[in-house]
């Protein structure tokens, strides 16, 4: 089972919001998800759905151990995020068992893309760990971005472990339950075999020590019909009402209803904005939209570059797939101008600085990892969308 369908939904919510912002600036312009993570993840294969109970668009079936067809707890605004989290913890436990990372080992195959608007920046790893006996996570020092996000059963990010850090967690740190979901993102230096082999070694070098290994089981059996119904309503609302930086939280006291419910069903396992921030970039005129040579110049975002922070931009077609190459760039690859600003060219030819190939009707995601502050990155996005249009080169 690939990473988990709600990340797919959130990117498309971002895209719709950005399209609406041509008339009225929308607030739904960030997503994590590491990360992510898109209108829908393609339907799980029959085998995957039958095994995990996570079906099309992240809907649950009663095969998932956290759900039941009849006699379950009705899902409402008070427990929908907990039910969403239980769905994914139960699914990952079926796949991986307790206290064991499941690593993706390779970059995305352009000829065999399985998730629309995929994140090409980092490679994912997933695990469900028992915290009742204590948990310690160590990420070795390194000069590239690598994190382990720790989410509790309320989808609260109780910690993020960065390179060179060791953090310990106990049951007292959790807002509910005694298990956590570990979501690791590892950035390769390059995407050739040498770079990927180095990345795999870094995945394996992360050490997680647990004092207990009880498999996750949901304390509650949730009613599958009421869950899917409410979840679907929240996804629709998130398109026009969602403020993503208010949805992903690192303290249970910071819940803002309905943002918490909308955003965590639309993009479960997203990072809080202080760790990652994302927004959509669209063509600024008809020529750019039609794939004519266009460009944009901007100042780099205010990120914590001394902690291996970076930005990236990835181009997708109208359906959300990568169909060109080169299709992205980032703060490592992009060559700055003399004044430090960055100019990106789209279909500018081989001689154009920082040239990216785009199809007609393209869209892009601009990802910012480790912002210096949430207010500064929100203002950066607003300024970019308003004042830095991708326009045809005359």
Distance CA 231, CA 302 (A): 35
Cα separation values, 141 from 115, 144, 166, 352, Å: 31, 9, 10, 36
Residue 57 reports pLDDT greater than 60: yes
Residue 214 reports pLDDT greater than 90: yes
Partner residues linked to 67 by β-bridges: 222
- What is the pLDDT, as a whole number, of residue 157? 98
Contact yes or no for 392/301 (Cβ under 8 A): no
Distance CA 27, CA 240 (A): 8
Distance CA 300, CA 390 (A): 16
Contact yes or no for 358/347 (Cβ under 8 A): yes
Average confidence (pLDDT) over 125-134: 97
Class of domain 276-392: mainly beta
Confidence tier at 26 by pLDDT (50, 70, 90): very low
Residue 40 reports pLDDT greater than 60: no
Distance CA 135, CA 151 (A): 13
Please, where in the chain does CATH 2.60.120.1600 lie?
A: 276-392
DSSP state of 306: G
Tracing tokens 């921030």 back to the chain, one arrives at: 277
61: its two tokens: 């079936």
Instruction: Name which of 9-13, 226-230, 290-294 the model is least confident about.
Output: 9-13
């Amino acid at each position: 089972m690939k990473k988990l369908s709600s990340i797919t939904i959130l990117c498309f919510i971002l895209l719709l919001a950005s399209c609406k912002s041509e008339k009225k600036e929308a607030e739904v312009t960030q997503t994590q998800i590491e990360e992510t993570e898109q209108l829908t993840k393609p339907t799980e294969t029959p085998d995957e759905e039958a095994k995990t109970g996570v079906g099309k668009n992240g809907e649950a079936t009663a095969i998932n151990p956290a759900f039941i067809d009849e006699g379950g707890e009705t899902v409402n605004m008070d427990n929908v995020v907990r039910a969403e989290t239980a769905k994914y913890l139960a699914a990952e436990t079926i796949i991986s068992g307790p206290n064991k990372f499941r690593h993706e080992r390779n970059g995305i195959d352009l000829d065999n893309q399985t998730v629309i608007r995929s994140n090409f920046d980092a490679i994912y790893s997933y695990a469900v760990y028992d915290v009742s006996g204590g948990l310690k996570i160590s990420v070795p020092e390194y000069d590239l971005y690598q994190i382990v996000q720790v989410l509790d059963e309320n989808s609260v990010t109780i910690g993020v472990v960065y390179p060179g850090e060791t953090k310990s967690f106990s049951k007292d740190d959790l807002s509910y339950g005694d298990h956590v979901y570990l979501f690791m993102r590892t950035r390769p230096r390059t995407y050739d075999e040498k770079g990927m082999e180095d990345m795999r070694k870094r995945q394996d070098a992360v050490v997680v020590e647990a004092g207990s290994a009880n498999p996750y089981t949901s304390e509650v059996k949730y009613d599958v019909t009421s869950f899917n119904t409410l979840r679907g309503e929240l996804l629709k609302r998130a398109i026009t009402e969602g403020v993503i930086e208010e949805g992903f939280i690192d303290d249970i006291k910071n819940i803002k209803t309905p943002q918490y419910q909308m955003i965590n069903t639309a993009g479960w396992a997203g990072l809080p904005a202080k760790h990652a921030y994302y927004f959509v970039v669209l063509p600024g005129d008809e020529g750019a939209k039609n794939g004519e040579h266009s460009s944009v110049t901007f100042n780099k975002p205010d990120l914590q570059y001394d902690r291996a922070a970076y930005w990236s931009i990835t181009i997708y077609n109208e359906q959300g797939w990568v169909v060109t190459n080169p299709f992205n760039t980032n703060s490592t690859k992009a060559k700055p101008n003399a004044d430090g600003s960055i100019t990106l060219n789209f279909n500018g030819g081989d001689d154009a600085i920082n040239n990216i190939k785009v199809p007609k009707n393209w869209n892009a995601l601009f990802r910012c990892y480790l912002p210096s502050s949430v207010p500064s990155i929100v203002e950066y996005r607003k300024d970019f969308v308003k004042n830095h249009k991708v326009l045809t080169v005359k």
